Amino acid sequence: MTPTFEILILLTSVGSGIVGGVFFAFSTFVMRALADLPAAAGIAAMQRIDIVVINPWFMTPFLGTAILCVGICIATAFGVFATAPMLMYFGSTLYVFGTFGVTIAFNVPRNNTLATVDPVAASSEKVWRDYVKSWTRWNHVRTAAAILAAGVFAMALIHH
């Protein structure tokens, strides 16, 4: 493994850790705090969060790590990572499918649905309670996948 690829693995580990940390915060206290608010306030806050999260400080590690993972899989398939190829595939799979994929398949559709909800509508209370429960459940999955991916990439560097 050349120093360039070691740096890429390190960046992928750090990126996975950053994303996992953000999601961990949501799983452990942000969603709980939002759930404790009246439905109208919780919905309005989450609608705003879903807008402001689209920024370079979050999107660069979130998308950049997914891109690095795909690159790592391709490089591994071509024998670039002769050391610990299974760790490279495993870490990449955890992040791409368990973090990025879960986000696209489960969290984003829930966010898109919530974006159309009128926070003060009579039906918003039930929508909010269902959203918090299902969104948080999927957030736990992507949190675990990102943190595990960070650890797997760190193991690959240690193994090297």
Q: Can you tell me the distance from the alpha carbon of 14 to that of 151, in angstroms, rounded to the nearest whole number?
A: 9
pLDDT in tens, 139-149: 999 999 999 99
- Smallest Cα–Cα separation from 66: which of 41, 97, 112, 40? 97
12: confidence class by pLDDT, cuts 50, 70, 90: very high
Q: Can you tell me the distance from the alpha carbon of 122 to that of 106, in angstroms, rounded to the nearest whole number?
A: 25
Q: Please determine, for residue 83, whether its predicted confidence score (pLDDT) is greater than 80.
A: no
pLDDT in tens, 43-55: 999 999 999 999 9
Q: Please determine, for residue 134, whether its predicted confidence score (pLDDT) is greater than 60.
A: yes
- Smallest Cα–Cα separation from 63: which of 33, 21, 100? 100
Range of the domain at 41: 3-159
Structure-token pair, residue 59: 């999107």
pTM as predicted: 0.94
Q: Can you tell me the distance from the alpha carbon of 19 to that of 152, in angstroms, rounded to the nearest whole number?
A: 15
Residue 28: predicted pLDDT? 97
- For residue 116, the SS3 value is coil
What's the structural domain count of the chain? 1
CA 13, 17, 19, 23: dihedral to nearest 10 degrees?
150
Q: Can you tell me the distance from the alpha carbon of 13 to that of 16, in angstroms, rounded to the nearest whole number?
A: 5
Q: Please determine, for residue 1, whether its predicted confidence score (pLDDT) is greater than 70.
A: no
Q: Can you tell me the distance from the alpha carbon of 152 to that of 61, in angstroms, rounded to the nearest whole number?
A: 17
Q: What is the mean pLDDT of the chain?
A: 95
